[in-house]
Amino acid sequence: MAAIVISDASPLIALARVNGLPLLQQLFTEVVVTDVVIAEVLTGRYPDTEAPIQQSLAAGWLQATSVDTSEPALPDLDEGEAASIRLALSSGEPVLLLIDERAGRAVAQELGLSVAGTAAVIGLARQRGLIASARDVFAALHASDFRIAPAVIQAVLDRCGE
């Protein structure tokens, strides 16, 4: 298991939309985000998702940190994804990077990082009995306008036996 879990913006936003941030704490105890990701998720424009993220930061299990490097250059990724990957690369310990965007996942994997997305977090929560139904969480995400590829959802549901 990874010693450190680092999250990009998308999994935080998605889980906040469905009251799922506590799942991250239950699954991983502590999650680290970069200050760049914090700037992306706490804009003041989305109070419904920002409040639970702020509460998680205040509780201390979600921890913000800065990245001390701008290397490697990752020009095709947004700043949050790039900062998250740079932090993961600089950690010196096994890291699990939570990231949803296809391009960011591909780059992270090319660089040797372990990655998982929102769907995997939901699946793991279901397998560990933290939620009654992964299908219901996916439906709530879909209703909130957050999209996960149907094939990804089906793969997670198959693994969970739903």
Where are the extended beta strands (E) located within 9-153?
31-34, 62-65, 95-98, 114-116
Where does the pLDDT of residue 32 fall: very low under 50, low under 70, confident under 90, or very high at 90 and above?
very high
pLDDT of amino acid 72: 85
Where does the pLDDT of residue 42 fall: very low under 50, low under 70, confident under 90, or very high at 90 and above?
very high
CB-CB contact of 142 with 36 (8 Å): no
- What are residue 6's phi and psi, to 5 degrees? -115, 135
- Which CATH architecture describes the domain 4-117? 3-Layer(aba) Sandwich (3.40)
pLDDT of amino acid 127: 96
Cross-strand bridge partners of residue 116: 98
What residue ranges do the domains of the chain occupy?
4-117
| Mean pLDDT computed over every residue of the chain | 93
The residue-averaged pLDDT of 52-75 equals 90
- What are residue 34's phi and psi, to 5 degrees? -85, 160
The residue-averaged pLDDT of 53-58 equals 96
Write out the two tokens for 103: 């391009």
Cross-strand bridge partners of residue 6: 32, 97
- Give per-residue pLDDT as tens, 64-119: 999 887 778 888 899 999 999 999 999 888 899 999 999 999 999 999 999 999 99
pLDDT of amino acid 68: 80
Cross-strand bridge partners of residue 97: 6, 115
CB-CB contact of 32 with 65 (8 Å): yes
CB-CB contact of 105 with 14 (8 Å): no
pLDDT of amino acid 147: 87
CB-CB contact of 36 with 62 (8 Å): no
